Copies of this chain bind each other. A is one copy, B any other.
């Protein structure tokens, strides 16, 4: 269970809603300059706090020390949006707590001492916030956070000071992209303190027409206002995407249907799939599922396909490193098998 394979509201367009809180502990150097022993102490403190709270073991957290993980396992965690690439880069000092349903993770000694993340499928920003706020209270109850009464939470990077909150929605916007409305839309949101990035964060291309939209401002407004600002803007984008999809269907219904069915045909038959084409075909598949074109395929199946087709997941499955061509071939094979399994259900 995770945000990937659980149903969420409007998750054909809004893949997930995510809240991240940056926190640091008083009297310890910030991670860029922390020593290994002190880093270890912080991991232990977070663990102790979580253990006390979740001692019944029902919803407990697994502790993963990054240095103990293989490069492939690290990649898989990033691909599932459970941890950041930066966490993996400082494997000597970093750790990851993951709760059982993989909806809450705590990165320790990434850019900040603690980064709590809550991620839910579909359009559930406030639900993700409520879920994470409870965890934050628990962790905060056991630790002494760096907090300035005027500024709020203090963070390594000044862009996170204040609430330390980054809220984001991962949106699939194929029709706005196809009709070239996406550029003005993204220009508009930058004027209201929001920013858009690709599937895997800063600097990543908007592969498969997937955009992460998040707040840039953390200082000043309250957590609720930050989230609400994002919610309102992303609801507008959601509505515009839905309208653009309906308009496409109305104006070129049969051509659109043809293109989307062909995508399914290619996904279920190709022997080689590079990432870019794969993500583009998945975008078409997701659009078709959203438009009710493919009975038997759910949005969550498309998420599953997306995650199992990433390089790390494919290497994990092969239990070995793969070169570029082997990845294309393994991706095509895994995708075919998965689609067959979905269709046979």
Contacts and interface: CB of A to CB of B under 8 A. Distances in A.
Interface of A: 254-255, 257-258, 261-262, 264-272, 325, 329, 332
A257 B271 contact: yes
A338 B325 CA distance: 34
Contacts of A258: 270-272, 332
Q: How would you classify the secondary structure of chain A's contact residues: helix, strand, loop or mixed?
A: helix
Nearest to A293: B271
Nearest to A271: B258
Nearest to A255: B272
28 contacts: A254-B271, A254-B272, A254-B325, A254-B329, A255-B272, A257-B271, A258-B270, A258-B271, A258-B272, A258-B332, A261-B269, A261-B270, A261-B271, A262-B265, A262-B266, A262-B269, A262-B270, A262-B271, A264-B269, A265-B265, A265-B266, A265-B267, A265-B268, A265-B269, A265-B270, A266-B266, A266-B269, A268-B269
Contacts of A261: 269-271
A194 B265 CA distance: 41
A174 to B, nearest CB: 18
A325 B254 CA distance: 10
A272 B255 CA distance: 7
A257 B264 CA distance: 18
A40 to B, nearest CB: 48
A254 B266 CA distance: 15
A272 B267 CA distance: 18
Contacts of A257: 271
Contacts of A325: 254
Contacts of A272: 254-255, 258
A254 B332 CA distance: 12
Given A254-B325, A262-B266, A265-B269, 10 more contacts: A254-B272, A254-B329, A255-B272, A258-B270, A261-B269, A261-B271, A264-B269, A265-B266, A265-B270, A266-B269
